[in-house]
Amino acid sequence: MENKETYWSENTRIILICLAIWFVVSFGFGLLLVEPLNAISLGGYKLGFWFAQQGAIYSFLGLIFWYGHKMNQLDIKYDGESK
Amino acid sequence: MEELKLYTYIAVFGTFALYFAIAWWARAGSTSDFYVAGGGITPLQNGMAIGADWMSAASFISMAGLIAFLGYGGSVFLMGWTGGYVLLAMLLAPYMRKHGKFTVPEFIFDRYYSKTARIVAVACLIIASLTYIIGQMKGVGVAFSRFLEVDYGLGLGIGMFVVWVYAVLGGMKGITYTQIAQYVVMIFAYTIPAIFISFQLTGNPVPQLGLGSTLADGSGMYLLDKLDLVVTELGFKEYTTSNLGGTLNMFAYTLSLMIGTAGLPHVIMRFFTVPSVKAARQSAGYALVFIGLLYTVAPAVGAMARLNLMSTIEPSAGEYLVYDERPQWFKDWEKTGLLKFEDKNGDGKIQYTSNKTDQPVTITGAISGKEIVLLPNEMVKVDRDIMVLANPAIANLPNWVIALVAAGGLAAALSTAAGLLLAIASSISHDLMKGVLVPDLSEKNELLAGRVVMTLAILVSGYLGLHPPGFAAGTVALAFGLAASSIFPALMMGIFSKRMSGTAAISGMCAGIGITMLYVFQHKGIMFIPGTSFLGDMGPNWFLGISPNAFGVVGAIVNFGVAFAVLQVTGPCPQHIVDMVENMRAPGDAPAAHDH
């Protein structure tokens, strides 16, 4: 029982970290901070524009795979299975 | 032209033959095959199938066109339709797979121990899915009539027949393997023209990099800077900064699309087809890889199509395309009525500007600072949907590439239609019939019922595609609004709150849908009938400037608020439900997706 509780709280902690990054790269860099970031350029891209149309999507990808990886580790730690 | 037609027939009917062969090979033998493909799909296969399931005619045909004309404002679609997968991967899919049932309404029934909740979920699912299918069916009809010059209705009929064969025969199993093939067709059809065009314009064949590169015309100018300059000289808004209704509206729009994506039942269902919780999490990642491939190319397609269109019509400042010398693609699209020219000043040349009046207007170029005289706009109609389809022709690409785009558009529309049809069929045969009306239905009869219902659903959606209701255009917003304001919050609370009760969740769902529909109807008309919108569809009347399409997130907030308020009054759910939620959250293996 206690095991289940800590498994769940570790899971929610990882989710919160991921969602914070999810928010920052899309709503933060792509929307709220787009104007200051547009002053910086990345090749021919304005940085804010790049986040909104490219960077956010790459970050989402990284997040989902990182989350899957962390959860696999947690599953092994609490359940002892690696499949 | 003849050669193009031959190639198009080969591409379209070649891919159809492939889908039939797959359907025969993967036909369904049990309800488990029919609803969840026997539960034996690998994450990689599932990711690809989710990609095809999710990316519809709207993603393939319309999105790049929207971005081409909205510029930076089009980012809401890019972020909104991909960010939802983060939510799906972390907040819904693994736990729902752990619970191990066939359909979304069944999950709602188990978690909220209420047949009413199940029926409400079925209703939301059917409305959201049917409105979506209309768009796919229209896409099929348009693709046929444009590329093969057959009658719209006949094209629609052929499309219905193809879906019927592989969806009814194969159920989820047939659909999954066909969707994998359709994804491959679709992604080639989308990226090959983009690679060609990116290479032509910038010398860089990778569209994602080409968009940030300098032009290959020797000017040394960045492509996006050039585009900004060209559009502002014609009085349009600067491409890379043009906003869509203000920051708050863009914020709400993006968030609504994200939670709407995560709440669409035909996508969630696909996570029930994999063998484990781990595989469900991986599927979401692979799905976004395959979706992201198209979604990161789309902004390049949009920007490059816009630049090509502008420079075809006005090769250099003040030098206009002569109407009688217009290229073949221009004539082809004029025939469809999606492109229209009116020679307002009678000079026989085409002026394409932002000036909607009849008189020349003088403006100051936003970037160049020069004084510019804008002649009245003569491109009176440029439909956004033609950008992707016309793009290869505008860029003078070989005919086989154009043929491939036709097959890709059809693959996108058919794969999504099949997924939606399965969601509808399963919610009726499994949730309504087996679950509520005829509990002692045998497996064999349930399978038969599923096939009959799917056939009926194809006929209904074909009819709606042939006689699209006046509100067809507005319904996509409604589908996302419904999913965002009803299904997503109900599922999320079911997993993340152990105490959430059935009564509270049903109240929340009804309140969320209610306020979203009210808002959409009051600005777009009751059932989208023109003239019945009692507040008018205009910015000043919008709540905090949020457009009706972006309102789903407000509905979701209302849903959460009402549910927790009712929970305070009526008290938490019974202990056996708490145990069930704990089991969903616990590590360990998921049971095979099963019946009661």
Indicate if B85 and B144 belong to the same structural domain: yes
Q: Is residue B25 part of a domain?
A: yes
* Cβ under 8 Å to B: A residues 2-61: 4, 7-8, 11, 15, 18-19, 22, 26-27, 30-32, 34, 38, 42-46, 49-50, 52-54, 56-58, 60-61
Report chain B residues whose CB lies below 8 A from the CB of A49: 72, 75, 224, 240-241
Task: Give the CATH number, domain containing residue B438.
Answer: 1.20.1730.10
- Would you kindly state where each structural domain of chain A is located, as residue ranges? 2-79
Indicate if B355 and B218 belong to the same structural domain: no
Indicate if B372 and B225 belong to the same structural domain: no
Number of other residues whose CB lies within 10 A of the CB of residue B540: 6
A31 and B91 within 8 Å at the Cβ level: the answer is no
Indicate if B303 and B349 belong to the same structural domain: no
Indicate if B238 and B375 belong to the same structural domain: no
Residue among B85, B241, B251 minimizing CB distance to A27: B251
Q: Is B1 exposed, middle or buried (0-12, 13-18, 19+ CB in 10 A)?
A: exposed
Please say which residue of B433, B449, B468 terminates a domain. B468
How far is B64 from chain A, CA to nearest CA, in Å?
12
State the pLDDT confidence band at A83, using cuts at 50, 70 and 90. Answer: very low
Domain with B357, as residue range(s), is 339-382
Q: Is residue B425 part of a domain?
A: yes
B86 and A72 within 8 Å at the Cβ level: the answer is no
Residue among B79, B289, B292 minimizing CB distance to A30: B79
Indicate if B84 and B165 belong to the same structural domain: yes
Please tell me which residue of chain A has the smallest CA distance to B280: A68
Nearest-10 Cα torsion for B63, B156, B330, B197: 40
All residues at 6 or more sequence positions from B180 whose CB lies less than 8 Å from its CB, including other chains = B45, B48, B49, B52
- So what's the pLDDT on residue B184? 94
What's the pTM value of the predicted model, to 2 decimals?
0.89
Please tell me which residue of chain B has the smallest CA distance to A59: B83
- So what's the pLDDT on residue B241? 86
- So what's the pLDDT on residue B166? 81
Q: Which pLDDT tens digits describe chain B residue by residue (596 residues)? A: 578 888 988 998 999 999 989 888 887 777 888 777 777 788 899 999 999 989 888 788 888 888 998 999 999 999 999 999 999 999 999 999 988 888 899 999 999 998 888 888 888 888 888 878 887 887 787 777 777 777 888 888 888 888 888 888 878 888 888 999 999 999 999 999 999 999 999 999 999 999 999 888 878 899 998 888 888 888 888 888 888 888 888 998 899 999 999 998 888 988 888 888 899 999 999 999 999 999 999 999 999 999 988 888 888 877 888 888 888 888 888 887 778 888 888 888 888 888 888 888 888 777 777 788 888 888 888 887 788 888 888 888 888 888 888 889 889 888 998 889 988 988 888 888 887 787 777 878 888 888 898 899 999 888 888 876 554 455 666 778 888 998 999 999 999 999 999 999 999 998 998 888 888 777 665 555 545 445 444 555 566 667 777 788 999 999 999 999 999 998 888 899 998 999 889 887 766 666 54
Indicate if B409 and B353 belong to the same structural domain: no
Q: Is residue B522 part of a domain?
A: no
The answer to whether A75 contacts chain B (CB < 8 Å) is yes
Number of other residues whose CB lies within 10 A of the CB of residue B158: 19
All residues at 6 or more sequence positions from B427 whose CB lies less than 8 Å from its CB, including other chains = B103, B104, B105, B121, B122, B125, B126, B265
When scoring B75, B237, B254, B296 by the number of chain A Cβ atoms within 10 A, the one with the most, hence best to mutate, is: B75
How far is B239 from chain A, CA to nearest CA, in Å?
10
Contact in structure between B290 and B48 (CB atoms under 8 Å): yes
- So what's the pLDDT on residue B543? 65
Token look-up 């690809």 returns: B48
- So what's the pLDDT on residue A59? 96
A64 and B78 within 8 Å at the Cβ level: the answer is no
When scoring A26, A29, A53, A70 by the number of chain B Cβ atoms within 10 A, the one with the most, hence best to mutate, is: A53
Residue among B86, B94, B250 minimizing CB distance to A60: B86
Indicate if B353 and B256 belong to the same structural domain: no
3-state class percentages of chain B: helix first, strand second, coil last, to nearest 5: 70, 5, 25
Q: What tens digit of pLDDT does each residue of A3-22 get?
A: 878 889 999 999 999 999 99
Q: Is residue B149 part of a domain?
A: yes
Residue among A31, A57, A65 minimizing CB distance to B247: A31
Contact in structure between B371 and B380 (CB atoms under 8 Å): no
Nearest to B226 by CA among B237, B210, B215: B215
Indicate if B240 and B369 belong to the same structural domain: no
Residue type, B71: G
Token look-up 């590439």 returns: B401
- So what's the pLDDT on residue B108? 92
Cα first-last separation, chain A = 23
Indicate if B282 and B375 belong to the same structural domain: no
